[in-house]
Structure 1
Amino acid sequence: MKSNKFSKIMVIGFSGSGKSTISKMISNTLNIPVLYLDKVHWLENWVENDKESECKIVSDFLENNDSWVIDGNYSHMSYNKRLESADLIIFMNFNRFNCLFRAFKRLFENRGKTRESMADNCVEKVDFEFIKWILWDSRQKSQTNNYKYALENYRDKVIIIKNQKEYDDFIDNFKVKYQAF
């Protein structure tokens, strides 16, 4: 087996950029657990979890796993601890229109289903609130400051993926480098 340089990987970025897909690929390739923060935040049927429970789930996951992939932003869920602990931080920085396109593509691929990265009975949807989040709200300074903080303070372990070609190249290279013989 090839040596594994990365054992703790944090995937952050804009909704619809492919965070969950790349997190699952990394988890499968390295055979390490993945935690989807959307699955922590959302309870069954799109009910939001309380912040105290969310923080406990993430803290327990960090404490009980030597290796991990954590998919998602959610700054109140041990964000700084995740940044400090991570060996690699992947920032999915796709433009807003690409994210919207990918969200609709995901909707059609998962029509009537709940993705693995979501809580039970959170059937895939794209509504006005989510479109607004992708195009405007998630791009506001109050939201992007966390990305800026990660880039400024942990630049030596950040990889930025800005488009589909970079995404595909990262996946191909990662699989070649880290899959077992």
Structure 2
Amino acid sequence: MQRIMVLGVSSGVGKSSFSRKLADISAIPVYHLDAYFWKPGWVESSDKEFWGKQQQLVEQDSWIIEGNYTSTYEIRSQKADAIVYLELPLAVCLYRVVKRRIMNHGKTRPDMAHGCPEKLDKDFLMFIISTYSARKVKMRKRMKQFIEESPHNQVIFLRNQKEIERFLKEKADALFSNPPIR
């Protein structure tokens, strides 16, 4: 596993935190798509700009790219050799989004673009709630397709916090006990 996509069922599932921890264990650089999509003041990048940045990232020998961004999934999946998919309950995701907002009040998270202080509004909460079930179905189809595309592709499906912690503590350490020299 050298080119890893970290996907999740929803905002608040823990993709960014998981990716940072995996990067520490593996010595593989992590890239957060939110930091590439958003510009200061919560201005969206153009499709061309966002796609171009990802096309550059995926050409590297190793990477962890965190974020769902359905419109650019193919750019990443064509070069990835692994998907780590996090699927925690909706209530946990919502709790974490609210907690994240409180904990980062007036600050920009490290996985966001500069000049995008943490925010939370009703529309974002409704987006999480209204897309959760459909996203579960879509992500499971994507994982199945990813495995079918190549016998070398791996999918790691983590369904709760215990599985996430166990993977990071036991399995990730074993997978990356001899990380590549940079």
> TM-score, normalised to structure 2's length?
0.85
1:112 maps to 2:106: yes
Q: Which residue of 2 aligns with 1:31?
A: 27
Answer with 164-173 or 66-75: which moved more. Answer: 164-173
Which residue identity does 2:36 align to in structure 1? Answer: V
Which residue identity does 2:143 align to in structure 1? Answer: L
Contact 1:114 / 1:121 at 8 angstroms: preserved in 2?
yes
- Identity among equivalent positions (%) equals 33
1:147 maps to 2:139: yes
Q: Which residue of 2 aligns with 1:170?
A: 167
Equivalent runs, 1:1-181 vs 2, <5 Å = 6-13=1-8, 14-63=10-59, 65-77=60-72, 79-136=73-130, 138-139=131-132, 141=134, 143-144=135-136, 146-155=138-147, 157-177=154-174, 178-179=176-177
Contact 2:55 / 2:75 at 8 angstroms: preserved in 1?
no
Q: Which residue of 1 aligns with 2:150?
A: none
Which residue identity does 2:146 align to in structure 1? Answer: Y
CA–CA distance in structure 1, aligned partners of residues 106 and 97 of structure 2: 14
> TM-score, normalised to structure 1's length?
0.85
User: 1:174 Cα deviation (Å)?
Assistant: 4.1
CA–CA distance in structure 2, aligned partners of residues 52 and 114 of structure 1: 25
- Three-state SS of the structure 1 residue aligned to 2:41 is helix
Contact 1:92 / 1:161 at 8 angstroms: preserved in 2?
yes
Cα deviation 1:28-72 (Å, max 9, x = unaligned): 222222111111111111111111100000001112x10000001
- Three-state SS of the structure 1 residue aligned to 2:165 is helix
Cα deviation 1:74-104 (Å, max 9, x = unaligned): 1222x12422322220111112111001112
Contact 1:83 / 1:150 at 8 angstroms: preserved in 2?
no
User: 1:149 Cα deviation (Å)?
Assistant: 3.1
RMSD of aligned alpha carbons: 2.0
Query: How many pairs were matched up?
Result: 172
User: 1:144 Cα deviation (Å)?
Assistant: 4.9
The runs of 5 or more residues in structure 1 that have no matched partner are: 1-5
User: 1:167 Cα deviation (Å)?
Assistant: 1.6
